[in-house]
Chains A and B, each alone.
Chain A
Amino acid sequence: MQSRLNPASLVICEYCDAVYSRTPLKRREKAHCLQCGSELYRNARVDIDVMLALTLASAIMFVIANCYPIVELNMSGLSNRATLWDTLLFTLDSNVGVIAVFAAASAFFFPLIQILLFAYVLIPLRAGRKPRAFIGAMHALREMQPWSMVEVFMLGAVVSVIKLTAVAAVAAQIGLWGFATLTLLLTVLSSFDLQDLWDQSEALDA
Chain B
Amino acid sequence: MNNSSRARDLKLISCHACGLVLDNQEELRHSRCTRCDEHVYTRKPNSLSRSWAYLIAATILYIPANLLPIMLTTKMYNTLSSTIVSGVIDLWQDGAWDLAIIVFTASVVVPILKLGLMTFLLISTQRKSTWRQRERTKLYRIIEHIGHWSMLDVFVVALLITLVHFNKLALVQAGPGIVAFAAVVVLTMLSSMSFDPRLIWDTDEPKSSTPPDNGQTNG
- Residues of chain A touching chain B, judged by Cβ–Cβ distance below 8 Å, are 1-2, 5, 7-8, 10-12, 14-20, 34-38, 41, 70-71, 73, 75-76, 78, 80, 82, 86-88, 90-91, 94-96, 98-100, 102-103, 106-107, 135, 138-139, 142, 146-147, 149, 152-153, 155-157, 159-160, 162-164, 166-168, 170, 194-195, 198-199, 202
| Residue in B5, B103, B106 whose CB lies within 8 Å of A2 | B5
Please measure, in the bound complex, the distance between the C-alpha atom of A22 and the C-alpha atom of B157, giving whole angstroms: 48
Given A15-B137, A19-B7, A135-B36; A99-B154 close (CB under 8 Å): yes
Please measure, in the bound complex, the distance between the C-alpha atom of A147 and the C-alpha atom of B148, giving whole angstroms: 8
Please measure, in the bound complex, the distance between the C-alpha atom of A70 and the C-alpha atom of B159, giving whole angstroms: 10
Beyond A16-B198, A94-B174, 8 additional contacts (C-beta under 8 Å) are A7-B22, A11-B21, A16-B133, A75-B164, A78-B166, A80-B166, A155-B149, A156-B151
B156-184 toward A: CB 8 Å interface, digit per residue (1/0)?
Answer: 11111111111001100111101100100
B197–A16 touching, CB < 8 Å? yes
| Residue in A38, A86, A199 whose CB lies within 8 Å of B162 | A86
Please measure, in the bound complex, the distance between the C-alpha atom of A102 and the C-alpha atom of B157, giving whole angstroms: 13
B134–A35 touching, CB < 8 Å? yes
B1-33 toward A: CB 8 Å interface, digit per residue (1/0)?
Answer: 010111110101110111111110000000000
| Residue in A34, A94, A198 whose CB lies within 8 Å of B20 | A198
Closest-CB distance, A170 to chain B (whole angstroms): 8
B residues 47-77 touching A (CB-CB < 8 Å): none
Please measure, in the bound complex, the distance between the C-alpha atom of A135 and the C-alpha atom of B200, giving whole angstroms: 31
Closest-CB distance, A75 to chain B (whole angstroms): 6
- Using CB atoms, name the residue of chain A closest to B11: A5
Closest-CB distance, A131 to chain B (whole angstroms): 14
| Residue in A10, A75, A90, A168 whose CB lies within 8 Å of B21 | A10
A36–B137 touching, CB < 8 Å? yes
Residues in B whose Cβ lies below 8 Å from that of A75? 164, 166, 169-170
Closest-CB distance, B169 to chain A (whole angstroms): 6
| Residue in B151, B154, B163 whose CB lies within 8 Å of A73 | B163
A16–B201 touching, CB < 8 Å? yes
Please measure, in the bound complex, the distance between the C-alpha atom of A88 and the C-alpha atom of B161, giving whole angstroms: 11
B6–A17 touching, CB < 8 Å? yes
Closest-CB distance, B196 to chain A (whole angstroms): 9
Residues in B whose Cβ lies below 8 Å from that of A103? 154-155, 158
Given A16-B197, A156-B156, A160-B159; A96-B21 close (CB under 8 Å): no
A80–B165 touching, CB < 8 Å? yes
User: Which of B161, B175, B179, B186 has most chain A Cβ within 10 Å?
Assistant: B161
Please measure, in the bound complex, the distance between the C-alpha atom of A71 and the C-alpha atom of B158, giving whole angstroms: 13
| Residue in B4, B13, B35, B174 whose CB lies within 8 Å of A18 | B4
Please measure, in the bound complex, the distance between the C-alpha atom of A162 and the C-alpha atom of B141, giving whole angstroms: 32
Please measure, in the bound complex, the distance between the C-alpha atom of A3 and the C-alpha atom of B173, giving whole angstroms: 67
Can you offer 6 A-B residue contacts whose CB atoms are under 8 A?
A1-B5, A12-B21, A18-B4, A19-B4, A102-B182, A135-B37
Given A7-B22, A159-B102, A159-B152; A139-B17 close (CB under 8 Å): yes
B156–A163 touching, CB < 8 Å? yes
A82–B102 touching, CB < 8 Å? no
Given A5-B10, A99-B158, A139-B38; A195-B19 close (CB under 8 Å): yes
Please measure, in the bound complex, the distance between the C-alpha atom of A73 and the C-alpha atom of B159, giving whole angstroms: 11
Residues in A whose Cβ lies below 8 Å from that of B159? 70-71, 82, 87, 156-157, 160
Closest-CB distance, B182 to chain A (whole angstroms): 6
- Using CB atoms, name the residue of chain B closest to A70: B159
- Using CB atoms, name the residue of chain A closest to B174: A96
Residues in B whose Cβ lies below 8 Å from that of A38? 137, 141
